[in-house]
């Protein structure tokens, strides 16, 4: 498909925005504008297809009644030759509507395509690209409608999803600035809003509006060639399954969308319960952001931040198994972390039911985050790294994700911990000319004020530093071998020898 060079002349037949008749779609868009912050930007995702073109036109009409800052944004996927035509149409439409346009070019990683599949990788990459435009308080509008909602419910049902998946797409949700962007941490107060103003409008009403306004396929919107390829599940449902359902049940799409809405209400109640239960099982004051401690070196892992927290095994054990699963899923979903697959969830519940004598671990990951959960000293210790995990690294976790181990393979280079320890020592005003900063050695002891010489291994245990973090310890070693202090990334120089205090 290519755009006609006489597009501008053809556009003369298009109905002016000022003559756009009142409709349910226009009312929905106007209400969404009224609910937005007039000080912030409303970004409208413009793919070039009919739905997004109509959303852009409806917003351009509604903004005359409700002034807001509007901007279109187009993502060039780079997956097919027609993508250039989509961008060209987006630029022409933005010019005709008098709205500014931003264009983002997407380059999908081969690993993402292999691990997630084309549809999922493109969807996640598109959201990542769109979110890079946003700042806190902005809104991002997507053009999904009622038929899309029904298809999403059916797809998730066929995948065996639970209540959250069957609730399909929410009409509105918070969107962390930079969400789905590998290597970027999510900061709670940096939030935008993702809205779907047309989610209650069926496809046929949008098509009718386009005809009434004189819009034509190939001139005023692009038909994506991939939308007719029924090797993709959504296209198969759209073209082969849903028409059969509608032939028997004409209100099938509206009924499915209504079911999704009811499930969203029920899910919100479950979320409230899960949040209350999570507050009871979470160890107070044990949640923190830290530099990634166990990011891979030469293992396909990039240095990143880590989010750490602890849950009480005793409190979790006091819940029913179904409530345990509810809390564990909610913890991940509420923070944007990957939800544990069923097998990993069962492994976590085995740890809760029978806490091991030694450290036991459960791991899982997606394209953006790696999650490690360890049972130790009556707690589940969580560490989530905003890190791209290569497929080969994931495979080392095995089929169950359950292991007994001291630490994960691939740690931060020791030289980095040496450097951090040196900086902290310098900040204390200590002389560093006659001190080396090294890892601990067997037999190392520290002279503690009022206690005498103490084995460093015992001091680590007393300090409740987990076994998988003890290799991060650095000691200040004098030239004669005497240990002058102990440093750890989570504690700093928390213990100094008595002669230096």
Residues placed in the known binding site for ATP: 47-52
3 state DSSP class of 102: strand
3 state DSSP class of 349: helix
Nearest to 109 by CA among 172, 52, 181, 189: 181
Cα separation values, 115 from 112, 303, 366, 397, Å: 5, 21, 9, 16
Which neighbouring-strand residues pair with 226? none
Which neighbouring-strand residues pair with 436? 477
Annotated binding residues, written as ranges, equal 47-52
Which neighbouring-strand residues pair with 483? 477
Pairing of β 191-195 and β 139-141: parallel
What tokens were used for 38?
């007039």
Cα separation values, 449 from 25, 31, 446, 488, Å: 74, 68, 10, 19
Report whether 485 contacts 493 (CB < 8 A).
yes
Length of the chain: 501
Count Cβ atoms below 10 Å from residue 192 Cβ, excluding itself. Answer: 24
Tell me the H-state helices in 252-364. 252-281, 313-317, 321-335, 342-353
Sequence-distant (6+) residues with CB within 8 A of 157 are 165, 166
Query: b/e for 44-75, b at 16 or more Cβ within 10 A?
Result: bbbbbbbbbbbbbbbbbbbbeebebbbbbbbb
What is the C-alpha separation between 293 and 305, in angstroms, rounded? 8
Report whether 11 contacts 220 (CB < 8 A).
yes
Which neighbouring-strand residues pair with 382? 309, 373
E strand segments, 164-279: 172-176, 191-195
What is the C-alpha separation between 373 and 146, in angstroms, rounded? 39
Q: How far is CA 495 from the centre of its chain?
A: 38
Question: Counting beta carbons within 10 angstroms of the beta carbon of residue 221, is it exposed (0 to 12), middle (13 to 18) or buried (19 or more)?
Answer: buried
């Amino acid at each position: 498909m290519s755009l006609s060079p006489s597009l501008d002349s053809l556009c003369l037949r298009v109905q002016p925005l000022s003559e756009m008749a009142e409709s349910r779609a226009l009312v929905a868009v106007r209400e969404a504008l009224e609910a937005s912050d007039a000080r912030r930007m409303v970004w409208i995702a413009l793919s070039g297809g009919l739905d997004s073109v109509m959303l852009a036109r409806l917003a351009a009409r509604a903004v005359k009644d409700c002034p807001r800052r509007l901007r279109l944004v187009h993502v060039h996927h780079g997956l097919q030759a027609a993508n250039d035509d989509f961008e060209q149409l987006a630029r022409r439409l933005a010019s005709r509507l008098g709205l500014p346009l931003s264009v983002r070019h997407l380059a999908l990683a081969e690993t993402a395509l292999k691990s997630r599949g084309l549809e999922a990788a493109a969807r996640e990459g598109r959201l990542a690209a769109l979110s890079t435009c946003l700042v806190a308080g902005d809104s991002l509008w997507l053009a999904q409608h009622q038929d899309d909602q029904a298809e999403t419910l059916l797809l998730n049902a066929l995948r065996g999803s639970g209540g959250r998946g069957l609730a399909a797409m929410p009409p509105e949700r918070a969107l962390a600035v930079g969400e789905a962007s590998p290597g970027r941490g999510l900061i709670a107060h940096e939030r935008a809003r993702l809205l779907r103003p047309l989610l209650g409008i069926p496809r046929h009403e949008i098509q009718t509006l386009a005809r009434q306004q004189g819009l034509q396929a190939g001139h005023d919107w692009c038909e994506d060639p991939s939308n007719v390829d029924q090797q993709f599940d959504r296209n198969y449902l759209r073209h082969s399954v849903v028409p059969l359902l509608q032939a028997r049940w004409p209100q099938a799409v509206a009924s499915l969308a209504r079911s999704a809405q009811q499930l969203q209400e029920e899910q919100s109640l479950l979320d409230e319960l899960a949040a209350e239960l999570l507050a009871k099982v979470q160890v107070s004051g044990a949640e923190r952001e830290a530099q990634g401690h166990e990011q891979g070196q030469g293992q396909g892992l990039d240095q990143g931040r880590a989010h750490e927290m602890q849950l009480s095994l005793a409190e979790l054990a006091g819940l029913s198994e179904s409530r345990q699963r509810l809390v564990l899923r909610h913890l991940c979903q509420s923070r944007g972390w990957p939800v544990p697959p069923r097998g990993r969830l069962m492994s976590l519940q085995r740890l809760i039911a029978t806490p091991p004598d030694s450290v036991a671990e459960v791991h899982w990951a997606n394209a953006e985050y790696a999650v490690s959960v360890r049972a130790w000293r009556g707690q589940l210790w969580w560490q989530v790294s905003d890190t791209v995990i290569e497929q080969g690294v994931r495979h080392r976790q095995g089929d169950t994700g359950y292991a007994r181990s001291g630490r994960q393979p691939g740690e931060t280079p020791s030289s980095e911990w040496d450097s951090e320890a040196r900086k902290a020592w310098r900040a204390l005003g200590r002389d560093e000319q006659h001190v080396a900063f090294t890892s601990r050695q067997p037999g190392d002891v520290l002279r503690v004020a009022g206690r005498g010489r103490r084995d460093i291994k015992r001091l680590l245990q007393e300090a409740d530093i987990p076994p998988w973090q003890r290799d991060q310890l650095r000691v200040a070693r004098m030239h004669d071998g005497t240990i002058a202090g102990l440093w750890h990334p989570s504690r700093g120089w928390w213990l100094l020898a008595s002669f230096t205090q």
